[in-house]
Structure 1
């Protein structure tokens, strides 16, 4: 019989159990310092990786770039003016080793180069432990993507100001500092209509951002916006009115929920008005009541279904939307179907266990749809680009001369030889030493130029055992 004390001793480290309150605080502070030092070391290594892959490593590929096609590798500026350029395709391997997307790896290298070359004081503070790496990266992200671009002198002035307070600067303070820098270095022409005494904000903060990739289990997503004062007041009045109307009609939802629904009603009403007034583009599609279709969004929803003994089909309560790989609730889908101005298209189920083939190189729509539904995203490790927007790649290249030379086709147009790859990773596979194979339907094994191997399946990406390091002769002792 296992007692409570036995369970505690088996799940807790004896070193932790022996610590008192003061010891725990000291230990966790040490752990944080170790974590910060490791993050600083990671920035140093990321910059060193970039040093190993300058534009000269492209083998003349910079002059072999095509717009919108599978052009070869080209110079990729990922930090501000004055930082060295980096060979584009080297970023992917660093990302896979770290278990992050290529975009995240690009940001890591870009931040490292921005700090080392344009924010040297902050770079030094990161490595002395005065500023944590995450805070320095926030500053680097701002200076990299500032519009208009910061000159090296302007970036250096920001570096001086931020370093003076040991990097302890918030987003609002940083925005004001960037605005002051743009004015100080005259990096943008002033607005002639602006009052010189009031100053001119060169950085326009207005935006409306809808995070379609992070969906709550309640079927909601986050909306964030900075809009003009007059627009904000008008929107507030419209939402207040919409919430009041819902309450008068008997809604028992909270005020916040009613305001959120009112925002959605505004969006659908505007869509309906737009469709209704587009007479020049042809008649707008309408429903039985003569009103235009309000929702013109194409969504691909997938739900698991179980056939019951009585012949009924039982659907699971949750599914997924291909658009952003988002969570979908069955009740939410039912409410959409119940809207008279919502158009619903039911497509037949595709059996992903069957293999489909086609003659020639072109990929028919039925095979393309099969691959999209099977792979769901780009199959490169840790890439999350939806498959519906990806290229369909022949894993083993199609030989266009095989038929004319009466040879077997090594890369047939077959679902067992096709995979979804986003344009960047398609180019990566085509023009570098990256290789992959499909071991089972939907399961891919990738090998990087430095022999790191990764498995990508429907559950995500996994790194396999790292390659054996090359033999290094041990130094002789005197």
Structure 2
């Protein structure tokens, strides 16, 4: 039950009529659209403050892995200093990649889609719709020239941004054709109007997991491939029914697709007389799942729910058992590692056991809001290892030990090494980062916490000159 007084304290009266609610929510939506448009302006200004010239120092050489200038929008948009996206992302509570995309969209709109940019700030087109157009023109293949992007801008602005994905693709395709941007294909007749825009793809939406433990797959394939796939799925679904499956046709078709992916595992359809032991494992399962366990006498009792390391998702113990129960499945069980143990090694290199412990502890890159899985990250010495300490008889300031190691993706590892970003360990697996502008963020396995109080409302004070 919601306390009406609490609701009122948040700026919403508890005695609003239906008409008042509609008016209020419309007002909030308009404010949200204005704020999103302002974010684009501020993102573009942030880019202006971090041009490639801001990278260069008195040194005349380039250090491998250091920051470089980066194009994040199309031809004609300014370049930016690569690392500038990280600090903007932490303030917004988004990843560095998402911040780079925001800045790229802002620059694309301001410099290559100026009509749409003006409509956003006039309130005629919501920022999210303009950003969708900008994302398409940035990532067009082949790349759009400034003139071709201008053509797209004129077409989209003429309908006030109200254009669907399919329509937008057609406009971009027309721009490619009109400005002769298509890559020549000797097998195609020029009169066919061939365009080098290949729509084929297979996308597994790993970020959108249904509570039932399913994922959505979307694909665009050749006509012949699509018909072959349909026949294969239909055949295997019918085979399941003939073998006694009482599941619905949709479920049988879904399982048939999984069978195809594994080259047949769920049903043993080998030729009669074939020894199952002679067949290769059709599925090799390496599951990094973590369950709480306790001892009951001589028996280990696992909890009913655990966590999948990939994607940080909830998983049921019964699901893991089902995955491992299919015929001809090879299962690899990783050894258990105590995450509370303090492990130390001599020298700079991180042994596999310590590396695995740190990966399991951190789960992802430990930079604020980064979600790259730890298994694909570097293991960094938080306090740098001093390679000369032993020969000079000094204590090692940056030992290779659990409490001085952290997982960083390659981008944020470079950022930490070659920029003013700094971090420290406050306890094993807990890190406090300090940005170049002095903002502080706490990061642990539960996520990121902004340690600075919010700025006071109102117009920012002018910068000192």
Output the TM-score relative to the length of structure 2: 0.91
The residue that corresponds to 2:62 in the other structure is 64
Tell me if 1:73 matches 2:71. no
Tell me if 1:162 matches 2:156. yes
The residue that corresponds to 1:284 in the other structure is none
Are 1:213 and 1:325, in contact at CA under 8 Å, matched by a contact in 2? no
Are 1:375 and 1:442, in contact at CA under 8 Å, matched by a contact in 2? yes
The residue that corresponds to 2:270 in the other structure is none
1:46 to 43, 64, 72: 43
Unaligned runs of at least 5 residues, structure 2: 267-274
1:179 to 167, 173, 185: 173
Tell me if 1:317 matches 2:304. yes
Tell me if 1:408 matches 2:408. no
Are 2:115 and 2:153, in contact at CA under 8 Å, matched by a contact in 1? yes
- Alpha-carbon spacing, 1:215–1:10, altered in 2? closer, same or farther (3 Å): closer
1:134 to 106, 122, 128: 128
The residue that corresponds to 2:329 in the other structure is 342
The equivalences for 1:148-297 within 5 A come to 148-269=142-263, 289-297=277-285
1:120 to 106, 114, 126: 114
1:147 to 123, 141, 148: 141
C-alpha distance in 2 between matches for 1:78 and 1:10? 44
Are 1:378 and 1:387, in contact at CA under 8 Å, matched by a contact in 2? yes
The residue that corresponds to 1:387 in the other structure is 374
Are 1:451 and 1:467, in contact at CA under 8 Å, matched by a contact in 2? no
TM-aligned CA deviation for residue 211 of structure 1: 2.3
The residue that corresponds to 2:105 in the other structure is 111
Tell me if 1:461 matches 2:443. no
C-alpha distance in 1 between matches for 2:38 and 2:442? 27
Tell me if 1:330 matches 2:327. no
C-alpha distance in 2 between matches for 1:337 and 1:167? 50
SS of 2:291's partner is: strand
Are 2:285 and 2:329, in contact at CA under 8 Å, matched by a contact in 1? no
Unaligned runs of at least 5 residues, structure 1: 273-286
Are 2:40 and 2:103, in contact at CA under 8 Å, matched by a contact in 1? yes
Give the superposed CA RMSD.
Answer: 2.5
Are 2:199 and 2:220, in contact at CA under 8 Å, matched by a contact in 1? yes
C-alpha distance in 2 between matches for 1:174 and 1:135? 11
SS of 2:168's partner is: helix
SS of 1:269's partner is: coil
C-alpha distance in 1 between matches for 2:125 and 2:240? 51
Bigger drift between 458-467 and 442-451 goes to 458-467
The residue that corresponds to 1:444 in the other structure is 431
Are 2:294 and 2:301, in contact at CA under 8 Å, matched by a contact in 1? yes
Tell me if 1:55 matches 2:55. no
C-alpha distance in 1 between matches for 2:164 and 2:463? 49
- 1:377-406 superposed Cα distances (whole Å, 9 cap, x missing partner): 111011111111111111001111111111
1:307 to 279, 295, 301: 295
- 1:416-437 superposed Cα distances (whole Å, 9 cap, x missing partner): 1111111110111111111111
TM-aligned CA deviation for residue 336 of structure 1: 2.6
SS of 2:21's partner is: helix
TM-aligned CA deviation for residue 23 of structure 1: 2.7
Are 2:119 and 2:160, in contact at CA under 8 Å, matched by a contact in 1? yes
